[in-house]
Chain A
Amino acid sequence: MTAAVQTPFQRIASDFAASKLALLGFAMLVVVIGIALFAPVVSPQNPYDLTQIDVMDSKLGPGEKSMAGQTYWLGTDDQGRDMLSGIFYGLRISLGVGVLSTILALSLGILFGLTAAWFGGRIDALIMRICDIQLSFPAILIALILLAMLGQGVDKIIIALITVQWAYYARTVRGAALVERGKEYVEAARGLGLSSSRILFRHLLPNVLPPLIVVATVQVAHAIALEATLSFLGLGLPITEPSLGLLISNGFQYLMSGKYWISFYPGLALLLTIVAINLVADQLRDVLNPRLQK
């Protein structure tokens, strides 16, 4: 018996591919992630290896050649670093910080959201009240307060990004879990005498994951944009970890003298990354929404 039964993954994949725009976004995302993963391989130079850069090459325009005859397609910055390589390495840091902080915030949100939904009562009220209060302030303000206290650093910006994100997940998980809690399969699991943690993580969690995946995808884009903004303000990453935001900030001082490329191209890379993620997330939302399924 080999009936052509579609697995859930095949169905999601074919639904996803129905939109050309989403496929374009996906392709862009694959390229961006590939560049971020293999930055040292695909970059023309290592912009942070002092033996490979020459201050004599500083602030060259796009397409100009170095003293050694190498072409800088996107120009160079004030230190004589190739912008293209700088962007590739920057993508790595921006994407890494965005994805890592989202995964950690997601885990934390799942933990608190499930706890709130499962135990209810005072625990639920307390957790949700904290979410309410936190969500009534803009993320950028909370991140600024935290970074003002913590100082600069990759670990610190990740802490700040987790803090501003966890409440979204906690709320989404709680809402979905409250619905699932009343369903028969949970009752059956309870009847079997399974432990709370087993029911929560093995039975409930897989059923509340789809809306979370959508929220998390959009949040990666938000986290990347927020990190770039904070780094631009000089409060995010230190100069030793040059994310796209820092590259843009670095070029800002040369903008007025017409040397646009130092800020412009890192910004363009940032924009393309965010658009790609949003396109994918938009389609995922439709594909994973059970109400829209045929």
Chain B
Amino acid sequence: MTEYIIRRLLQSSLVLVAMSVLVFAGVYAIGNPIELLVNPMADDAERARVIANLGLDKPLWEQYLTFFKGALTGDLGKSFVFNVPAVGLILQKLPATIELALCAMVIAILFGIPLGLWAGLKPDSIAGKTIMAGSILGFSLPTFWVGLLLIMLFSVQLGWLPSNGRGDTVNVLGFEVSFLTADGLSHLFMPALNLALFKLSLIIRLTRAGTREALLQDYVKFARAKGLRASRVVGVHVLKNIMIPIVTVIGLEFGSVIAFAIVTESIFAWPGTGKLLIDSITSLDRPVIVAYLMIIVTLFIVINLVVDILYSVLDPRVRLGQGAGQGAH
């Protein structure tokens, strides 16, 4: 186990370094930030001063080395636009994104598992079929368009919910959160629902498939034969056994929820990291783009590793290290 974790960590650091080279070189190729940063009226001396100040006069490999040395100490460069450390800028926006992603996951789990169970227990009932049809729609609907429909309905037509921003926030343990105020909740509802929709469909399908499979197993037949109540058979014998794949997928999908938050945050002007990324791409703020990507890649590597380890803890049959590789996708 320890050997496996060490090997995975080494492998992950290699991936990180490779990603940093690719991202750095790639982002370096985008446009010329000087055009946006220097006053067009400035003379050549002023331009040269700004370029030297940002370190853009040095060759690419030298800039990368400076970046790499900084990265080892947690410094991913300064934002061209805001002139503050890029990591700080992202960490400041991260709580908003995490809050949105967590709320979306909670919605997906709270509704997805019961609906999936229902559809699995009664696959031929009208309700079961409706749930499945709904989940197909959830897969087909493009996320951003659903966001627009939500705004159209709740903000424009009904005027019930605000369409942008975070609303009032409360400081909890040093983080600003929206879900504890009524105003914040009204701001959070639509983006969280929008982000949850795809994962909700996924969890419904997983739970349904797992339930249908579990119902055919001998232990369920035996539990029924023992005369246990249906609620106990479903709640204990079925649910417990289908939780392993569901927990794995929930873990793995958390990263992708954060990635998809980029779209949702842009629609609802939710001030998180995703919106920061899109704004930085538009304003050619290279250090922020690179820093965001490095942080999110690290996050993904950590999530994948944690899920693989958790998986082996939950299911003793899984032996890590014997070609287990990257786990489920």
| Interface of A toward B, CB cutoff 8 Å | 132-133, 135-138, 140-141, 144-146, 148-149, 151, 221, 225, 228-229, 232-235, 248, 252, 255-256, 258, 260, 263-264, 267, 270-271, 274-275, 278
Contact = CB atoms under 8 A, between A and B. Distances in A.
Contacts of B27: 148-149
B142 A274 contact: yes
B21 to A, nearest CB: 13
Interface of B: 15, 23, 26-27, 29-31, 136-137, 139-145, 148-149, 151-152, 155-156, 163, 255-256, 259-260, 262-263, 266-267, 277-278, 281-282, 289, 293, 296-297, 300, 304, 325-326, 329
B289 A271 contact: no
Contacts of A271: 140-142, 145
A235 to B, nearest CB: 7
A136 B259 contact: no
A267 B30 contact: no
B300 A145 contact: no
Given A149-B27, A255-B152, A233 B296 contact: no
A144 B140 contact: no
A201 B137 CA distance: 38
A256 B144 contact: no
B148 A141 contact: no
B277 A144 contact: yes
A255 B26 CA distance: 35
A101 to B, nearest CB: 17
B87 to A, nearest CB: 18
Contacts of A137: 255, 259, 297, 300
14 contacts: A140-B262, A141-B259, A144-B262, A228-B142, A234-B282, A235-B281, A248-B144, A252-B267, A256-B151, A263-B148, A263-B152, A264-B149, A274-B140, A275-B140
B329 A138 contact: no
Contacts of B30: 148-149, 151
A225 B142 contact: yes
B156 A260 contact: yes
B148 A255 contact: yes
Nearest to B296: A141
A137 B148 CA distance: 26
A148 B142 contact: no
A140 B145 contact: no
Contact of A148 (B139, B267, B289, B304): B289
A229 B156 contact: no
Given A136-B304, A145-B293, A255-B152, 8 more contacts: A136-B300, A138-B259, A145-B23, A221-B140, A233-B263, A252-B267, A260-B156, A263-B148
Given A149-B29, A255-B156, A140 B263 contact: yes
A243 B322 CA distance: 47
A275 B142 CA distance: 11
